[in-house]
Amino acid sequence: MAVSVQRGPGARDDVRNRDEQSRGAQRQKDLPPVPQLRAARVRRQRVIKAVILLLVLMFLLVPLLAMLLFTVRQPLSGRWGVDAWKAIFTGNGDALGTDMSILWQGLGASLALCVVTVVLVLVLLVPVMVITYLRSPKLARLVEWVSTLPLTIPAIVLVVGLGPIYRWLSSDVLSTDPIWLCFAYTILVMPFSYRALAVGMRSIDMRTLTEASRSLGASWPVLFFRILLPNLWQSILSAGFIGIAVVMGEYTVASLLGRVNLQVALYQLGQSNSQVSTAMALLALIFGVVLLVALDMVADSIQRRRNK
């Protein structure tokens, strides 16, 4: 005589739960361990980063490589040579029938403009920004607006406004020397330098430093030169390097005002020998990259010294 055993709802639920637990345990065994998953994810992220970096480097380096090949290969004959580079490093372009004096004139003018413009920008911005940050935060907004306003003004519009002023200055007050472009370049560089300085000033507690120094008897000159400036040294270097990069690459203002700087000289030189002009332009680009790398290295060294 067979006896049928009926299971209640609770027993069936227990059996179902045990089955699900066993299946979950089996799936857990089939899955790779957590460290392997993490390592695979890290490898995948590294591959993606490497691909993105490779694409960016190709985007940046292919034009530079094309410029380099153009300087060492004659466009018409296909002959390879380094005559353009010899003309630059020896300063003698007679072998190519090129007058190199315009290049050295423009390079000297641009280097002098870099020094004068950076000094003017820092002398104008640093004291004004420090005073407004400490004394009048509301006025700091006005200073920011005035300093960044040139970003909204195209260079051609700026030249239209500065043209009559420079004509009057050249004839009655100053000469036609390119060094006087420093006033126009100060306006162009000011927005970029302001941003670099503002980041540095926001990164330190200037009010606390000022109150502590004044309470210990420090005068305002001592406070500015021995306490605030050392803490702002990194941002000052950033502002200076950015200013140099802008001045070295500026063409519109100098060309329309009839002055000769490096970019105008490269354009004029390109009319007679495009290889020499391209080689010098490539050197100018490399100089800008070296400036950025130097800025990064100096910033890292200052940060490490500060952390110690």
pLDDT tens digits for the chain (308 residues)?
Answer: 444 444 455 555 555 666 566 665 555 555 555 566 677 777 888 889 889 988 988 888 888 898 889 888 877 777 888 888 888 888 777 767 777 888 888 889 999 999 999 999 999 999 999 888 888 878 888 888 998 898 888 888 888 888 888 888 777 677 778 888 889 999 999 999 999 899 888 888 888 888 888 888 888 888 888 888 888 888 888 898 889 989 988 888 888 888 888 889 888 888 888 888 888 888 888 888 887 788 777 777 766 776 66
User: Taking the model in full, what pTM does it have?
Assistant: 0.75
CATH number at residue 245: 1.10.3720.10
Reduce the DSSP state of residue 75 to 3 states and report it. coil
Residues 177 and 66 in one domain: no
Reduce the DSSP state of residue 80 to 3 states and report it. strand
Residues 101 and 226 in one domain: yes
Residues 182 and 300 in one domain: yes
Residues 106 and 72 in one domain: no
Helix, strand and coil percent figures for the chain, each rounded to 5: 85, 0, 15
Residues 210 and 74 in one domain: no
Among residues 15, 46, 81, which one ends one of the domains?
81
Cα–Cα distance, 202 to 189 (Å, whole number): 20
Residues 67 and 152 in one domain: no
Report which residue type is found at 291. L
Tokens of 219: 């005068």
299, 237 contact by CB (below 8 A): yes
- Domain assignment present for residue 119? The answer is yes
Residues 75 and 206 in one domain: no
Domain count, the chain: 2
The CA distances from residue 111 to 116, 129, 248, in Å, are 9, 27, 8
Report which residue type is found at 81. G
- Domain assignment present for residue 224? The answer is yes
Q: What is the pLDDT of residues 173-182, one digit of tens each?
A: 777 788 888 8
Residues 264 and 134 in one domain: yes
- Domain assignment present for residue 71? The answer is yes
Residues 178 and 54 in one domain: no
Among residues 25, 59, 81, which one ends one of the domains?
81
Q: What is the pLDDT of residues 65-79, one digit of tens each?
A: 988 898 888 777 778
Structural domain containing residue 160 = 94-307
Neighbouring residues of 193: CB distance < 8 A, sequence distance ≥ 6: 121, 122, 125, 239, 240, 242, 243
